[in-house]
Structure 1
């Protein structure tokens, strides 16, 4: 029997009321924000928004609850853009997804920050149980989105980013699962001098937690060679995007090289406002696992393929309910 676990990769849309309130507050406190200080009113607004999205997840019945990363204006680059030794450069576009962010330029050593740990501490206080799922950019994607002005070597920079993330994870409160988001492995795969180091970098982050670690990839299918190297990472599961890109290539990779004992299935569209009903999600789960040859899984994480940031708030909430309803029962899959 395969346990189905409903979850998401985090990065939710702000509640509608918070968008306007925070826009007004940030306009008034622009100088403080540039210097890295959030005023008490901004902190309070984010606290209230966090409470709301955590309640939405628990009300929907999700098996894993994320903090939702509502403060992450620069999406996956956030852990660097708030770092004291990183300067935020001009506006750039990540992954051709029509959203624009600031370029984090690393000008000094990536010392411990604790920014994400503080967010998770607040979420753990709200939950009071072990359903917390932490979310971070994976070390390769974070290094890919940044500009290195300090370390001087791509492999050394990847190692430094990995060490930085491991230090952040070590400060997290107890969490059941950690999702490391690695879309750059698909969209901007590493070259020959780096590809063999990616698994080592991911493993270093994974080793910093006792939680189950999922490396979630999206925006398409992984290149065969990249996937083969990724399989060397010491993690419990790899996540796959079954919405965007070549599903046949993804299934080929899994069936040719195998995968971990657990798997994450990106089966709900994180960018399309059309809400999948629970029966459709369940059918997709069954079809996908039926097409994985000669392997069954202890756990299948059923999730959206991408972050939910791109959706209107009401559509994101509806997709949470669909994910939860589709995974209420275990699944028996013939090997």
Structure 2
């Protein structure tokens, strides 16, 4: 069994680049992520990417992500920069104090966007690249449809839109984390579980890498969890910070994929876990489920990390990597 320290991406912007962007004349960051940045803004984001990759490598993570420093709209970003999407007012990002521009889909979600270019840039900085993309259900949940006319058609389009282009990018990546917090935060009705399953499965089939379906802010519903086990994802994610008992119950009752992703550090709390806490949470999960000889255990924060101050973010990466290293040593 392999233990892999990694993250779900979406990091806080490093202090130096945040200050640089604030100093640029007329710079309104949320209005400039659609590809119209000046050369100075582009250079600042390039520097942010280099810093975020460096921080991960210094911490000792096994998989390194691009960092998504430009994603002011968080998981809605791929839609917000799409040609056939207009952005409207600021709305709350799930149930927290972060906000994003509401993407309103006004035309076909053809292959578009900037994710592939960002991944290509990150691939030049590390050989252990992991892609991070929003899942199709979360995209439809975060957006408003004025084109397709039905949730079913909108969901089908979301699985082949701009994120899908990045998922099929020739950029080599060890794994792809498909983030689906909406499956927990705004779960689909029972009658569309199979359609959601098919959308996830189509994404997994399109990717030439190990796909990790990562949900957070709680545990999946039992029926939905069972449906997702019928997909070709390599691993399902479980939030051991917000819902450790519920997550273990799902695996006890229904099993899981050949690999798992475990949310082991709190992506929204500034209290930094110790390496012992990380290791103990892995051990607790393995002792709580009937089959614990997984192909891979992906150890990750339970959510995105942009909520955290930069110093806390870096300390959490250190704790995560150290805890996984300790668990790997004990398991030998």
- The TM-score range, normalised by the shorter chain, is over 0.9
What is aligned with 2:221?
A: 223
After the TM superposition, which of the residue ranges 55-64 and 228-237 deviates more from structure 2? 228-237
Secondary structure of the residue that 1:194 maps to in structure 2?
A: helix
Secondary structure of the residue that 1:66 maps to in structure 2?
A: coil
Alignment match of 1:150 (pick from 130, 147, 152): 147
| CA deviations over 1:156-205 (Å, ceiling 9, x no partner) | 11010001133331125010000000000001001134221111111111
What is aligned with 2:234?
A: 236
- 8 Å Cα contact 1:3/1:331 also seen in 2: no
Q: Displacement, 1:208?
A: 1.7
Q: Displacement, 1:280?
A: 1.5
What is aligned with 2:317?
A: 320
- How high is the TM-score relative to the length of structure 1? 0.94
Structure 2: distance between partners of 1:272 and 1:102: 24
- 8 Å Cα contact 2:91/2:100 also seen in 1: yes
Structure 1: distance between partners of 2:261 and 2:201: 18
What is aligned with 1:198?
A: 196
Q: How does 1:69-108 map to 2 (within 5 A)?
A: 69-108=68-107
Secondary structure of the residue that 1:63 maps to in structure 2?
A: coil
Q: How does 1:22-101 map to 2 (within 5 A)?
A: 22-25=21-24, 27-28=26-27, 33=32, 36-101=35-100
Q: Displacement, 1:295?
A: 3.8
| CA deviations over 1:210-235 (Å, ceiling 9, x no partner) | 21100000011111111111112210
**Structure 1 residues 109 and 5, CA, compared in 2 at 3 Å: closer, same or farther?**
same
Structure 1: distance between partners of 2:29 and 2:48: 20
The higher relative CO (CA closer than 8 Å, separation ≥ 6) is in: 1
Alignment match of 2:249 (pick from 243, 248, 252): 252
Q: Displacement, 1:30?
A: 7.8
What is aligned with 1:211?
A: 209
Structure 2: distance between partners of 1:31 and 1:176: 30
Structure 1: distance between partners of 2:81 and 2:50: 22
Q: Displacement, 1:332?
A: 7.4
What is aligned with 2:14?
A: 15
Structure 1: distance between partners of 2:34 and 2:160: 25
> Does 1:307 find its partner at 2:293?
no
- 8 Å Cα contact 1:114/1:171 also seen in 2: no
What is aligned with 1:109?
A: 108
**Structure 1 residues 147 and 60, CA, compared in 2 at 3 Å: closer, same or farther?**
same
Structure 1: distance between partners of 2:51 and 2:292: 39
Pairs aligned (count): 329
Secondary structure of the residue that 1:265 maps to in structure 2?
A: strand
| CA deviations over 1:247-286 (Å, ceiling 9, x no partner) | 2222111111110010000010111111111121111111
- 8 Å Cα contact 2:81/2:113 also seen in 1: no
Structure 2: distance between partners of 1:72 and 1:94: 13
What is aligned with 2:181?
A: 183
After the TM superposition, which of the residue ranges 61-70 and 272-281 deviates more from structure 2? 272-281
Structure 2: distance between partners of 1:248 and 1:31: 38
Secondary structure of the residue that 2:159 maps to in structure 1?
A: helix
- How high is the TM-score relative to the length of structure 2? 0.95
Secondary structure of the residue that 1:27 maps to in structure 2?
A: coil
Q: Displacement, 1:294?
A: 3.1
Q: CA RMSD in A?
A: 1.8
- 8 Å Cα contact 2:33/2:71 also seen in 1: no
After the TM superposition, which of the residue ranges 76-85 and 20-29 deviates more from structure 2? 20-29
